[in-house]
Amino acid sequence: MTTPFARGGATVATPAGSIPELYEIANQLRIDSIEATTAAGSGHPTSCASMAEIMAVLFFRVMRYDPATPRAPENDTFVLSKGHAAPILYAAWAEAGAFPREHLLTLRQLGSDLEGHPTPRLPFVDVATGSLGQGLSAAIGIAFDARLSRAGRRTYVVMGDGESAEGSVWEAAELAPRLRLGRICATIDVNRLGQSQPTMLEWEMDVYRRRWEAFGWQALMVDGHDVEALIDAYDTASTTEDRPTVVLARTVKGKGLLGVEGKENEHGKPLPPADAERAVSALRAKLGGAHGPWAPLQPTVNAPLKATEPIGAAPTPSYAPGDKPVAPRKAFGEALAALAGTDERIVAIDGDVENSTYTELFQKAAPERFIEGYIAEQNMVGMAMGLAARGRVPFVATFGAFFSRAYDFVRMACIGHNAIKLAGTHVGVSIGQDGPSQMALEDLATMCAPPDMTVLYPADATSTWRATELAASQPGPFYLRLGRPEAPLLYGADERFEIGRCKVLRQHDDDRVLVVAAGVTLFEALSAHDTLARDGIHVRVIDLFSVQPVDRAALAEAARACGGRVVTVEDHYAHGGIGDTVLGALNGTGTAVRKLAVLEIPRSGKPAQLLDHYGISARHIVEAVRAMLHTVP
> What CATH number is given to the structural domain containing 558?
3.40.50.920
**Residue 387 counted as domain residue:** yes
Last residue of a domain, one of 418, 450, 481: 481
| Residue 304, amino acid | P
Are 175 and 65 part of one and the same domain? yes
Q: For residue 80, what are the β-bridge partners?
A: 158
Are 106 and 223 part of one and the same domain? yes
Are 73 and 143 part of one and the same domain? yes
**Residue 489 counted as domain residue:** no
Are 98 and 245 part of one and the same domain? yes
Q: Residue 512: which of 491, 535, 494 has the closest Cα?
A: 535
**Residue 5 counted as domain residue:** no
**Residue 297 counted as domain residue:** no
Q: How far apart are the first and last CA of the chain?
A: 55
Structural domains counted in the chain:
3
User: What does the pLDDT read at residue 424?
Assistant: 98
**Count of beta carbons in the 10 Å neighbourhood of residue 496:** 8
Q: Mean pLDDT in runs of 10 for the chain (633 residues)?
A: 43 64 96 98 98 97 94 94 98 95 97 97 97 98 95 95 97 98 97 95 97 98 98 96 97 96 94 97 90 76 63 85 96 97 95 97 98 98 98 97 98 97 98 96 98 97 97 96 97 96 97 98 98 97 98 98 97 98 96 97 97 98 96 72
CATH of residue 243's domain is 3.40.50.970
Last residue of a domain, one of 427, 447, 481: 481
**Residue 95 counted as domain residue:** yes
User: What does the pLDDT read at residue 304?
Assistant: 60
Domain hosting residue 184, numbered range: 19-284
| Contact yes or no for 383/394 (Cβ under 8 A) | yes
Residue 377 designated active-site = yes
Are 475 and 508 part of one and the same domain? no
Are 469 and 550 part of one and the same domain? no
Helix, strand or coil, per DSSP, at residue 48: helix
10 Å CB burial of residue 128 (0-12, 13-18, 19+) is buried
Are 511 and 477 part of one and the same domain? no
Are 248 and 333 part of one and the same domain? no
83 vs 251: CA distance, rounded Å:
17
105 vs 332: CA distance, rounded Å:
49
User: What does the pLDDT read at residue 9?
Assistant: 35
**What DSSP element (H or E) covers 174?**
helix 167-178
Pairing of strands 346-350, 393-399: parallel
Last residue of a domain, one of 450, 481, 512: 481
| Contact yes or no for 81/163 (Cβ under 8 A) | yes
**Residue 314 counted as domain residue:** no
Establish how many alpha carbons lie within 13 A of residue 231's alpha carbon, considering only the half-sphere containing its beta carbon.
14
**Residue 488 counted as domain residue:** no
User: What does the pLDDT read at residue 307?
Assistant: 63
Are 215 and 183 part of one and the same domain? yes
Are 528 and 594 part of one and the same domain? yes
Are 173 and 257 part of one and the same domain? yes
**Residue 369 counted as domain residue:** yes
Q: Which of 24, 74, 377, 570 is catalytic?
A: 377
Are 246 and 113 part of one and the same domain? yes
User: What does the pLDDT read at residue 596?
Assistant: 98
385 vs 389: CA distance, rounded Å:
6
